[in-house]
Amino acid sequence: MSKDIFVFVEQRDAKLQSVGYELIGEAASLAQDLNQQVVAVLIGDKVGHHAEELIAYGADKVLVVDDPILGEYMTEPYAKAMTAVIKEKEPEIVLFGATSIGRDLAPRVSARIKTGLTADCTALRIDPETKLLMMTRPAFGGNLMAVIWCKTHRPQMATVRPGVMQPMERDESRKGAIEHVNVAFSESDKTVEILEVVKKTRTAADITQAKCLVSGGRAMGGKEAFGMLRELADLLGGDVSASRAAVDSGWLNKERQVGQTGKTVRPDLYLACGISGAIQHVAGMENSGTIIAINKNDTAPIFGVADLGIVGDLTLILPKLRDAIKKAREKGVNYTAPSSEQYVGMENILYHVQNDIAYLTINRPRQMNALNRKTLQEISSVADKLKNDDSIKVLIVRGAGGRAFVAGADISEMQNMNEAEGREISLMAQEVFVKIKELPQIVIAAINGFTLGGGNELAMACDIRIASSRAKFGQPEVNLGLIPGFTGTQRLSRLVGSGTAKQIIFTTDMLSAEEALRIGLVDAVVPPEGLMRTSRDLALKIMSKSIKAIKLAKKSINEGMPLEFSQGLLVENDCWTKCFAEDGDGYEGMSAFVEKRKADFSKAPKRV
């Protein structure tokens, strides 16, 4: 029967690599769950003396394969040694570092043994019921995490990303066994001939070991600017690292690159300066203790992982920061943080911009995204900011979690309200939903699931509603002794007619997406998996037109609707006239039409 957890311990020039200690540390915690032992497999030329050290780091047993052929790494001799060990000892689990050696050796061995191999894992766990190893790994360039198991074949094998697992504290009092395994090598095992070993000579910087990293991106602008980061790093007792853009520009060496194709780091502090936070970069630093990011763009994705984000210009901030740290080192000054609006990340909503489209996601999936006071306030603050943001043309509103758009207001919060409080919450919600309706942006509701009560009222505040075929609509207030009070009685009757609105409100019957489409409550119904794509495509289509004209059209419809017809025409006439104004898009649009070219509304219109 197979048992024990084996770790391939990597060494280079007979020096142990840190990934070996990390894997022993992880194996020890898995071994506890399985009630088995950790066995380190040490392969090399004159490496036996390291066995004690591996025991001090947590190995219960060390198997040593020592032979001159195992000096510089070659696939075949190492594969032969590893296969011999596995065949003889029949381990339950074998772990390799996902290094350029481990990722060459492990697949070769797995194909020889004919067992499964999971690549580049970032988390390992023993399933309590099946006792199987659950291996978590990123795929699709870090966009997706997959949990993988190997049910019937043994051993269960994985390569594990360096820098992710924690070594144990070194403890010399630990006891363990050391065993030499004999493998008969012959000349024919040298299937390749190493002609030359060229060491990369540059000062072997190892950013994975730094306690603090000051990291720079493209925005640093040049090699010289990294001198500032070096000063900061020295002051903080850390090291300097960079994004790939900075490395590709030749400002820093490749071994200082953080990310998917660079190093994975987890310092106590990661200070990201002018780094946008592309997913490939974040993959390499998101497990850092504290992340501070300085970026002048408040929608930079780096803020999504930052513990402290500073929206500002690094060229102004960094010199002052250096001086401040210097001064603090000298005197020991105390600092208190100024408070300021917390914007990108709020408690109950997520807001981000991608490809110029803004997304507002109601993010309380466990409460079916129910609207409470805090959520309304946060929506309101986003609306306030969007109102003055010309760079955003379309906003998509949606709910997190797959089950609900918004399933209503938070009843528990309103249960004990008195009359005054009841009035106040309704006024507040009405104000927020009016703000949404009056935004200069085009607002699309992407509706995935339950859209009830306040949720339906929020959806109606948007300009266009796209529903998943799974969505369900309703106004259940009268069940609770309430009426729709977040704009619902007024909007619903204007949207679908007072008869239908009354039917919906009086019966509280839920409507399917198809019914909602039929009565005009939503504007399109799409299969669930097509919801975001359709919404995005719609947004892109709108953005490709004259956005000025579209905004004027929105204004004309919104403001004209509640008016008497002839008054509405006056509003229309006003908006139309603005298309012909100096800064209107009419001239460019019509000129392009006449000249048979594509209109370019992005340029400031100029009459010649």
Partner 1 sequence: MKIIVCIKQVPDTNEVEIDPVTNTLIRTGIPVIINPDDKSGIEAALDLRDKVPGSTVTVVSMGPPQAEMALREALSMGCDDAILISGRQFGGSDTLATSTIISAALKKIGYDLIITGRQAIDGDTAQVGPQIAEHLGIPQVSYVEEITPEDGALIVMRQYEDRYHKIRVKLPCLLTAIQDLAQPRYMTVGGIVDTEQKDIQILDFDALSDFLDPSAIGLKGSPTNVVRSYTKEPKSQGAILKGLTPDEAVDAIMARLHEVHLI
Ligand X SMILES: Cc1cc2nc3c(=O)[nH]c(=O)nc-3n(C[C@H](O)[C@H](O)[C@H](O)COP(=O)(O)OP(=O)(O)OC[C@H]3O[C@@H](n4cnc5c(N)ncnc54)[C@H](O)[C@@H]3O)c2cc1C
Q: Give the one residue of 89, 256, 281, 554 binding ligand X; rule: CB under 6 A.
A: 281
Per DSSP, 566 falls in state H
Q: Give the one residue of 296, 322, 374, 555 binding ligand X; rule: CB under 6 A.
A: 296
Residue number of the CB atom closest to ligand X: 259
- Residues 6 or more apart whose CB falls under 8 angstroms from that of 82 comprise 8, 41, 43, 94, 105, 109
- Residue 291 near ligand X by CB under 6 A: no
Return the number of the residue (194 or 478) whose C-beta is nearest partner 1: 194
Question: Could you say which of ligand X, partner 1, none residue 297 binds, taking C-beta under 5 to 8 angstroms by partner kind?
Answer: ligand X
Active site residue 457: yes
Q: Closest distance between ligand X and the C-beta of residue 280, in Å?
A: 4
Q: Give the one residue of 126, 245, 539, 575 binding ligand X; rule: CB under 6 A.
A: 245
The window from 216-224, 404-412, 434-442, 600-608 that contacts ligand X (CB under 6 A) reads: 216-224
Q: Could you tell me the CA-to-CA distances from 228 to 215, 224, 320, 326, 371 in Å, in that order? A: 11, 8, 11, 13, 47
Q: How is 322-349 classified by DSSP, letter by letter?
A: HHHHHHHHHH-----PPP----SB-SSE
- Residue 174 near ligand X by CB under 6 A: no
- Residues 6 or more apart whose CB falls under 8 angstroms from that of 16 comprise 9, 10, 50, 53, 54
Q: Closest distance between partner 1 and the C-beta of residue 434, in Å?
A: 25
Return the bridge partners of 371, or none: 409
CA–CA separation, 501 vs 492, rounded Å?
A: 6
Using CA atoms in the order 479, 481, 487, 488, what is the torsion angle rounded to 10 degrees?
A: 30
Other Cβ atoms less than 10 A from the Cβ of 61: the count is: 19
Q: Closest distance between ligand X and the C-beta of residue 139, in Å?
A: 4
Helix (H) or strand (E) holding 309: strand 308-311
- Residue 275 near ligand X by CB under 6 A: yes
Peptide bond into 155 cis (omega under 30): yes
Q: Which tokens belong to 365?
A: 């999936």
Return the number of the residue (93 or 183) whose C-beta is nearest ligand X: 93
Q: Give the one residue of 157, 314, 358, 492 binding ligand X; rule: CB under 6 A.
A: 314
The burial of 510, by beta-carbon neighbours within 10 Å (0-12 exposed, 13-18 middle, 19 or more buried), is given as: middle
- Residue 117 near ligand X by CB under 6 A: yes
- Residue 424 near ligand X by CB under 6 A: no
Question: Could you say which of partner 1, ligand X, none residue 149 binds, taking C-beta under 5 to 8 angstroms by partner kind?
Answer: partner 1
The torsion angles phi and psi of 61, rounded to 5 degrees, stand at -150, 145
Return the number of the residue (199 or 603) whose C-beta is nearest partner 1: 199
Return the number of the residue (117 or 439) whose C-beta is nearest partner 1: 117
Q: Which tokens belong to 186?
A: 């012959």
Using CA atoms in the order 564, 569, 571, 577, what is the torsion angle rounded to 10 degrees?
A: 180
Q: Closest distance between ligand X and the C-beta of residue 306, in Å?
A: 12
Question: Could you say which of ligand X, partner 1, none residue 281 binds, taking C-beta under 5 to 8 angstroms by partner kind?
Answer: ligand X
Question: Could you say which of ligand X, partner 1, none residue 350 binds, taking C-beta under 5 to 8 angstroms by partner kind?
Answer: partner 1
Active site residue 424: no
Site map for ligand X, 124-153, x if CB under 6 A? -------------x-x----x-x-x-----
Catalytic residue among 255, 457, 529, 595: 457
Residue 292 Ramachandran class (φ > 0 left, ψ -120 to 50 alpha, else beta): beta
Question: Could you say which of partner 1, ligand X, none residue 199 binds, taking C-beta under 5 to 8 angstroms by partner kind?
Answer: partner 1
Per DSSP, 541 falls in state H
Q: Give the one residue of 264, 276, 372, 546 binding ligand X; rule: CB under 6 A.
A: 276
Catalytic residue among 477, 564, 572, 582: 477
- Residues with a known catalytic role: 457, 477
